[in-house]
């Protein structure tokens, strides 16, 4: 995936996500604790998005300045969404640790055992699992199919090496970054599950606020993973199409159709990344009734 295309995806997600956030802002509620919690959540979310953008830009600039050798540009492009996802999750985790504490002389809290994914939206969990599965599968198959350079593919006895192809040269750093993203997300979800409850007379309001926090964590991580999957699939599809162009009738059977299918999958993953990044978290209206959008 070229840098302009990746930046276009990021800009679309930020603009649309920002508009939906403003439109869907929680209006002033009847309880000060709910108002403070919703305000804190919005600020944390905004800082997390800003941190993700800064991390993406910083990763591109720093890595291109320090790293040398073949395939550096491709490596950096693959690491950019991971850097953004990690920074986003870290800021959200810090925001949950700084969550407004219950005030007053008398405090009440329900004794509830919360698991890591209890508050997480099922749709985002499934999307994250699907994106992670596709990414890991492409990295594994790419490592097996790549030639000894770990970054190109040899097809049908061609003397020329085709690429870039996601072998170990690209897959090694990506796998390490993906592991960091998964661990950071798990920590952030754990902090969401264990943070202090909002002091409100309506348990449903506390539930939706916690769901919204988990939503924001998974939203950033899932968008990053899907963007990474789109980049990897684009690399594979482009290499297969290049092989067909060079070998012509001598190309292995089905390689052209496979290349087209992989490119379509890359487009779907990229569109899904933008859609997930713009998926608004649940909100609490002023009348206290829970809604989600």
Q: Is the pLDDT score of 186 beyond 80?
A: yes
Report the C-alpha gap between 241 and 233 in whole angstroms.
12
Tell me: pLDDT of 23 over 60.
no
| 3-class secondary-structure state, position 283 | strand
How many CB atoms within 10 Å of residue 273?
28
* CA distance linking residue 165 with residue 179, whole number of Å: 21
pLDDT at 247 over 60: yes
Instruction: Please tell me whether residue 161 adopts helix, strand or coil conformation.
Output: coil
| Residue pair 285/26 in contact by the 8 Å Cβ criterion | yes
> The tokens 């439109």 sit on which residue?
23
Whether the predicted pLDDT of 286 surpasses 70:
no
Q: pTM for this structure?
A: 0.82
Task: Please count the residues of the chain.
Answer: 293
């Amino acid at each position: 995936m070229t840098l302009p295309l990746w930046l276009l995806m990021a800009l679309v997600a930020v603009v649309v996500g920002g508009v939906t956030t403003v439109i869907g802002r929680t209006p002033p509620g009847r309880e000060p604790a709910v108002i403070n919690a919703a305000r804190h959540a919005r600020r944390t979310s905004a800082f997390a998005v800003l941190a993700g953008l800064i991390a993406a830009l910083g990763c591109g600039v720093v890595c291109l300045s320090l790293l040398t050798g073949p395939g550096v540009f491709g490596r950096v492009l693959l690491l950019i969404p991971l850097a953004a996802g990690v920074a986003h999750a870290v800021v959200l985790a810090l925001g949950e640790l700084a969550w407004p504490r219950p005030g007053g002389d008398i405090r009440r809290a329900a004794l509830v055992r919360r698991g890591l994914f209890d508050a997480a939206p099922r749709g985002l969990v499934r999307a994250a699992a699907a994106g992670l599965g596709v990414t890991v599968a492409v990295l594994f198959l790419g490592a097996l199919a790549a030639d000894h350079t770990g970054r190109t593919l040899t097809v049908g006895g061609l003397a020329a090496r085709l690429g870039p192809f996601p072998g170990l040269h690209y897959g090694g750093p990506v796998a390490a970054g993906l592991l960091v993203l998964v661990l950071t997300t798990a920590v952030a979800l754990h902090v969401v599950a264990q943070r202090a409850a909002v002091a409100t007379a309506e348990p449903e309001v506390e539930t939706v606020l916690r769901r919204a926090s988990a939503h924001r964590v998974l939203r950033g991580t899932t968008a990053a993973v899907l963007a990474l999957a789109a980049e990897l699939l684009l690399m594979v599809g482009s290499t297969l199409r290049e092989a067909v162009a060079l070998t012509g009738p001598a190309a292995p059977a089905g390689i052209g159709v496979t290349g087209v299918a992989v490119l379509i999958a890359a487009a779907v993953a990229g569109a899904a990344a933008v859609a997930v990044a713009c998926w608004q978290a649940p909100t609490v209206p002023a009348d206290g009734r829970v809604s989600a959008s």
